[in-house]
Amino acid sequence: MIDTHCHIYLEQFDNDIQQVLDRAAKAGVTHIFMPAINFDSLPKMDRLHHPKIIFHKMSGIHPTEINEGICTTEGELYEYCKQDDIVAVGETGLDYHWSSDYKSKQKESLHIHCKVAKAVQKPIILHNRDSTGDMFDIIEEEQDGSLTGIWHCFNGSADEGKRAIDLGLELGIGGVLTFKNAGVDESVARLPLEHMMLETDAPYLAPSPKRGKRNEPGFVQYTAKQLSEVLDISLDEVLARTDENALLLFGISS
């Protein structure tokens, strides 16, 4: 299994990081992709190691960090993202849930991240909360045929999922898929597996039956099992295809 979106470097894991990674490896996790919250995330990522797990770094500014006055320029972000050990640009996107006062600044940041992603030819990782229309508008404006990426924590309708795919995006399927009454399962059932990949967003959004607890990469197994039930296919097929999708998107050899 591959966890394509995991903040395993955060302080919530400081006290038992090796045990968490051991559990992940035991569950079958082989790769963990780590989106940045800001540039201070990168040295924290460098401290992680495990003999059975390969870690992959991303670089970017989370949209809620924009609300706190943290920003970047196209030139600065490019210098980070052009590095060989950075596999993607992000986490970026839009988040209007906490405040609508920073929409213009968040949009400006997303445009910058899109331009850099195209320049370095790496996928963009998109956070989207209460901002789907604006996210689509920006991706459509920036799409020149070379922009790839993931709608992280996909929770949209089937039509929104299809539009995302048409715009060149993949769908990050996380713990929300397992939440009763969230409706994500109904949307995902109508969408193609060849555009899906698994994620946790750990330490956030733990799937059932771990909902309400600290999420961790090993819990991706519960999302995988739920996805196999939703699509009515074998777990082996889910794991094989989502792994393949992830490695192909990030340009990583199996």
Average pLDDT over residues 100-115: 97
Each residue of 8-54: pLDDT tens digit?
999 999 999 999 999 999 999 999 999 999 999 999 999 999 999 99
* pLDDT mean across residues, the chain: 97
Instruction: Give the pLDDT score at 219.
Output: 98
Alpha helices, DSSP H, located in 50-201? 63-67, 74-81, 103-120, 132-142, 158-166, 184-188
> Domain count of the chain?
1
Q: Which domain holds residue 236?
A: 2-13+20-250
Q: Which residues contact 43 (CB under 8 A, 6 or more apart)?
A: none
Q: Is the pLDDT of residue 254 over 80?
A: no
The answer to whether 220 and 235 are in contact (CB under 8 A) is: no
| pLDDT tens digits, 55-71 | 999 999 999 999 999 99
Residue percentage of the chain with pLDDT more than 90: 97
Q: Tens of pLDDT along 116-127?
A: 999 999 999 999
The CATH number covering residue 104 comes to 3.20.20.140
What pLDDT, on the 0 to 100 scale, is given for residue 224?
A: 98
Question: Which residues lie below 8 Å from residue 227, measured CB to CB, with a gap of 6+?
Answer: 173, 177, 188, 196, 198, 238, 242
